[in-house]
Structure 1
Amino acid sequence: MRFCLRILFFFLIGIQFYAQNSKIDYFKIVNDKSTIDKQYVFSEKTFSADINFVLKNDSVFKPFFKPFVNLGIYNKRHWLKIPLYNNSDITNFVYEFNQTNIDSLSLYLVKKKKVIRQFKEKGLYFHKNNTPAFLQNRYAYVYDINIPKQDSIVLYVKANVFDDSFKTMNVLWSKDNYKNREREIKIRSTYLVVFLGIVFLIILLSLAMLFFTKQKLYFYYIGFLFVVFLQITGVRYFISPILIENTLFFGNNFEEMLGFLVIFFVMHYTDNFLNLKEYYPKVSKATKYGANFSLLIFFLALFLRKYEWFYSFSYVFSKLFLLIISVTLYFFAYKLARKKKLMGYYFLIAYAPLMLFMGHFILTAMKLTNSYNPLEWEVVIFIEIIVLTIAMAHRYYLMMKQNSDYQKAIIKEQERGIQAMIEAQEKERSRIARELHDGVVQQIGSVILKSRSILAKMNLLDTKESREMLEMLENSNQDLRTISHQMMPRALKELGIVSALNDLLENSLGYSKINYSLEHFNIKERLPKKIEITIYRIVQELINNIIKHSKASEVSIQIFNTNNTIILIVEDNGVGFDKKISINGIGLLNISSRLDMVNGDVNFEPSPKSGTLVTIKIPLINS
């Protein structure tokens, strides 16, 4: 009896063991695209199993009936067992393994516990075996496999990943349908090339802004863009990751190494971008310390990268530290936005996708999520860079506008100073002219009358000496009268600009060898006092220059009003005007200063008469 019971016991154990090892839940292929959601997983830290071990030990595998396989960062070596049953009319398939940053990847086709085909090893360190299309394996590793109709096969996938979490989605395509996938990859690759071109262009523009502004903000932004550019070109195989790792001495975890540099540039950049030093000095100080600490970790990593423990540390620390920093700075950006600070709004928009992406990334690494990241790294970075570039351009515009307003304010103050000086000068001219006319001229006139009376009583009036003395006194008195009229002509004060110009020309050129003419049109009313004085002083300056330097024999002056603009034309037939020599002369500067007060402008050009033609325009509106 005992013997029978023992036989029964071992028989049941054997049946159970056989059932456990023979029961396989196959993934049934029914169409030309299938996302595999029935697979078995096995991860290990130290022991490196081979294909013979896993074929003999099915019990090490655990079922994973979900499309997104996430084994986190805890283990470095992983096996996938994917049983497939072809329930379709298709026999030629393409197996797509959707994780590109795998150090090594092996695929075995197994039937009835025997390897019927072993593919060449692929991965970062076997890049020569990777798919040559589309600049190698930019989006996935692919394998051509054949499964007969109504037949089964088991895929064994061995993946080693030392500097990232193991996360993948496995898709089985029909050979024909995979052509659509290839077209999609080409389109995405084109978008990526365009994006990288935009990033490169933004780097050049930022260099120009750095050159013109000399602000550290643009230096940190350029550093951030360059590191991101290097990251994307490495991840998407525009540049071989192995080349980056070996040439730049970044080791196997170049993404995390570059991540420390990203943190350094982003923190310094954000400190300047949000102007934290002004609004939150303590936060600004802590941000700078955090940035410099990240840079220190980067340099230490150059020596620590040879240790295996550092890979997990750098992976978690770089992502977690960036998330903490982003959340902290995001909070203060929110506070600035509450204060209606424009850069705070830009920061909130730019970093919202990044925070979502990094949060999901860390949850994936810690095996706390079984969903594929809905955001792609390139999309997140594209949004961030575009928004920040717009913000930088806006900031640059505001800075240039502020500088322009500052320059305008300085010019306005200078104009006010010049205007005050000219007004004071005119007041002083008026005072001196009044003192001369009402004082000195009148006194000299009295002296002449008294001298005549005294000389007449003494019978000396007709002598030569007396006549010469009286003539000198009268000439001096006439000169003083002329000077007083020129300093503040009575005709300008009482009759207007045309009469004043007539008197000016008669007194200045009437007794010279220079012929003159004055024409006026549409000057029916008195002009504003400021404009009349301006025109008179300018003509006075030009006439003095003609007398002293031009050697002219003819002078023509025209003044007229057209479309609420006073046009003054002064033309002579002299030797001409050398603008290069005279442009900085006191006379021309005086003319320009006076015209600035009335919003006028002046143009000097050669005259058809071989002399000089001066054209002055003064608007009556807003003068």
Structure 2
Amino acid sequence: MPLGLMYLLDKSNALTIEKILEFPKNFVFKKANGNAPTFWAKGNAYWFKFRLKNTTNINQTFVVELPTPLYDEGRFYAVEDNKILNVQYLSWDTPQLDRPVKHRNFIFPIALKANQEITCYIKLRKEVGSIWVPITVWERNAFDYYYYSADYHTWGFVIGILLFVVFFSFLLLFAFKDMLYFFYGLYVLMAIGFICTSQGYFIRFYVDGSFGVSGNRMRYVCSLLFLISGLLFIRKYLRWDLLKTSFFNYMTWAVIGMLTIMLLFLYVDHLSLKDTLFHSYSALISGILSVVFWFPTLYVIFGAIYCIRIQHFAKEAFYFLLANLPIATIVFHSALSNYEIINGTRLVEIEYFAGAFLLEIVVLMVLLAYRLKAMQDTAEKLFMEKTLAQQQRTEAILEAEDRERVRIARDLHDGIGQMLAAARMALGNFLAKKKVENEHIQNSLDLLEESIKEIREISHNMMPGALTKLGLSTALKQFVNKINALGVLQIELQIIGIKERLSEKIETMMYRIVQEILSNIIRHAEATKVSIELVKHEHELVLVVEDNGKGFDTKDARNHGIGIKNVATRVEYLNGSVNFDSAIGRGTSVIVEIPLINSK
């Protein structure tokens, strides 16, 4: 800010530079305080003056810059010895091509001769809001070299990051179907609109009221939408709908309703009343808008503190407060300086707001990522608990099934089998004593003999003695030999690496798996040859069964019958994996892999 900046309030809005110069004693300028003086204008005009001197021995052009694009009126006068040397006029709706410096901000160039000193006067007027005057004087060469590139690169970087955050938020929305990410993306999108309209970006697209409101009032529309989306996001983020007290839930909707009414007022006044109310009650509207803009911030901070106090999403509320602290500081500093309670500073520049908002966005993205990870961890934990419970149920069922097999096998062998053998022996002894030859009785004896053999076979298949006494290798060899003896299939069995007994659980389940696979081959495959290979590695047991049958379509769910499901269930019980590789006309290959580390 230039040294010696002075200001004058013009309540009449009728002062001219000629009157000020003609009657200087009637218009006393006061010293402006702060490096960016701020005044609650209430629609009044303010005049500012300062001295500008070219301290070099060459002619130079200087640039007087006001980094704000939305004044209703800005007039610049260069005066020397009470003579007006230069007059320039700008307004928010002045096209950039018609400006002396092609930029959205209020920038006034002035050429000075060597060692020339002048007095600069600036008149500023804004219908609604405060007048903020962070004046900067540049040498034209330095301005052209630095200002444009820094301005465009900075805002391009900021808008680019925010657009990426919006895109990423909507990706998360589509991935997880959680409306929290929708409100967050909407919040950031409205922030982009607020920043762009506050900076006058793209004003040529809405300067004529194409979006339903007078061009310079689009910043109020975007500000209101920004506040509404922020309230929707924080309500969802801190789950105010789950609070025991309904105050925050109802109050949030009340504040959103108030902001929506203000939004509708802007559109109705422009579209239906031709801005009559806005012009007639600009001071009142200015006061209402100022409260509307800082009250939601205060309300959100209070709500977050309350959540921390009652331990409702306390961690999220605490980190949100930390993230929101820079923006809250700027908002309240702006409010206090607008009401002239404290001196205005450059802290309220949109660049600082954008930086604070970027910081908030980064922190919130980290918090949302943490929240997402916590949700995934919880879901994974629930899935693991569900899987474990299901595995325990499967284990209990299979163990109960095996116990029942053992019991039935024992009952068949020791109970029914023994009784049938006793009956046959008694009947045979009776015939021997009586020396009776009866064909019907002999047939009955033969049937008894066949029944005894069948019961023994069933008993053996349900719980083969070789499995419990001699182990998996011997049991499989005996089982394969019996099938080969029937002439139905030609089975080739290879067992590699099994030199000692495995755990009872693995031996029993693997035997049942081989039984189930061969049963399916006999019933469905129409195969003539089967190859079985059982290999024990250091940390896993691999079973490969291949046949030359007709094969089946593995993608057809109708082919996944009870047999395949039984195999899969037993493999899952052993924490293993099974793969069925088949196609119609080329046979079937079944590969079972069982870990040996955690299967004891």
Same fold by TM (over 0.5)?
yes
CA distance in 2, matches of 1:132, 1:118: 11
Contact 2:477–2:493, Cα closer than 8 Å, also in 1: yes
How far 1:37 moved relative to its partner? 1.9
Check if 1:268 corresponds to 2:232.
Answer: yes
CA distance in 2, matches of 1:205, 1:248: 27
SS in 1 for 2:419: helix
SS in 2 for 1:555: strand
Contact 2:323–2:363, Cα closer than 8 Å, also in 1: yes
Contact 1:71–1:166, Cα closer than 8 Å, also in 2: yes
Q: What amino acid maps onto 1:506 in structure 2? A: N
CA distance in 2, matches of 1:309, 1:374: 25
CA distance in 2, matches of 1:217, 1:261: 17
Q: 2:274 corresponds to which residue?
A: none
Check if 1:351 corresponds to 2:324.
Answer: yes
Contact 1:601–1:617, Cα closer than 8 Å, also in 2: yes
CA change 1:242–1:362 in 2 (3 A) is farther
CA distance in 2, matches of 1:85, 1:221: 51
CA distance in 1, matches of 2:261, 2:559: 59
In structure 1, the gaps of 5 or more residues are 1-34
Q: 2:565 corresponds to which residue?
A: 589
Q: 1:556 corresponds to which residue?
A: 531
SS in 2 for 1:237: coil
Contact 1:360–1:373, Cα closer than 8 Å, also in 2: no
In structure 2, the gaps of 5 or more residues are 270-276
Check if 1:87 corresponds to 2:51.
Answer: no
SS in 2 for 1:575: coil
Check if 1:324 corresponds to 2:292.
Answer: no
Contact 1:40–1:61, Cα closer than 8 Å, also in 2: no
How far 1:492 moved relative to its partner? 1.0
Q: 1:98 corresponds to which residue?
A: 66
How far 1:356 moved relative to its partner? 0.7
Check if 1:228 corresponds to 2:191.
Answer: yes
Name which of structure 1's ranges 475-484 and 300-309 shifts more when overlaid on structure 2: 300-309
How far 1:111 moved relative to its partner? 2.6
How many residues align? The count is 580
Contact 2:78–2:119, Cα closer than 8 Å, also in 1: yes
Q: 2:11 corresponds to which residue?
A: 45
Equivalent of 2:155, from 189, 192, 205?
192
Q: 2:507 corresponds to which residue?
A: 532
CA change 1:172–1:39 in 2 (3 A) is same
SS in 2 for 1:576: coil
How far 1:112 moved relative to its partner? 2.8
Percent identity of equivalent pairs: 24
Equivalent of 2:211, from 240, 248, 257?
248
CA change 1:325–1:471 in 2 (3 A) is same
Name which of structure 1's ranges 260-269 and 474-483 shifts more when overlaid on structure 2: 260-269
How far 1:379 moved relative to its partner? 0.7
Contact 1:165–1:364, Cα closer than 8 Å, also in 2: no
Name which of structure 1's ranges 594-603 and 414-423 shifts more when overlaid on structure 2: 414-423
Q: How does 1:5-404 map to 2 (within 5 A)?
A: 35-58=1-24, 59-64=26-31, 66=33, 67-100=35-68, 101-119=70-88, 121-128=89-96, 131=99, 136-137=103-104, 140-182=105-147, 185-240=148-203, 243=206, 246-251=209-214, 252-279=216-243, 281-285=245-249, 286-303=251-268, 306=278, 307-332=281-306, 334-335=308-309, 341-374=314-347, 376-404=352-380
Q: What amino acid maps onto 2:522 in structure 1? A: I
SS in 2 for 1:253: helix
Contact 2:42–2:129, Cα closer than 8 Å, also in 1: no
How far 1:526 moved relative to its partner? 1.3
CA distance in 1, matches of 2:398, 2:208: 72
CA change 1:245–1:297 in 2 (3 A) is farther
List per-residue Cα deviations over 1:465-487 (Å, max 9, x = no partner): 33332222211211111111111
CA distance in 1, matches of 2:294, 2:204: 23
How far 1:245 moved relative to its partner? 7.6
Equivalent of 2:475, from 484, 500, 513?
500
SS in 2 for 1:560: strand
Equivalent of 1:448, from 386, 400, 424?
424
How far 1:260 moved relative to its partner? 2.6
The two structures have a TM-score, normalised by structure 1, of 0.86
SS in 1 for 2:544: strand
CA change 1:598–1:133 in 2 (3 A) is farther
How far 1:167 moved relative to its partner? 1.3
Name which of structure 1's ranges 49-58 and 588-597 shifts more when overlaid on structure 2: 49-58
CA change 1:419–1:476 in 2 (3 A) is same
Q: 2:487 corresponds to which residue?
A: 512
Name which of structure 1's ranges 283-292 and 435-444 shifts more when overlaid on structure 2: 283-292
Contact 1:85–1:151, Cα closer than 8 Å, also in 2: yes
CA change 1:205–1:302 in 2 (3 A) is same
CA distance in 2, matches of 1:327, 1:63: 38
Check if 1:545 corresponds to 2:542.
Answer: no
Q: 2:497 corresponds to which residue?
A: 522
Q: What amino acid maps onto 1:217 in structure 2? A: L
CA distance in 2, matches of 1:574, 1:287: 70
How far 1:131 moved relative to its partner? 4.8
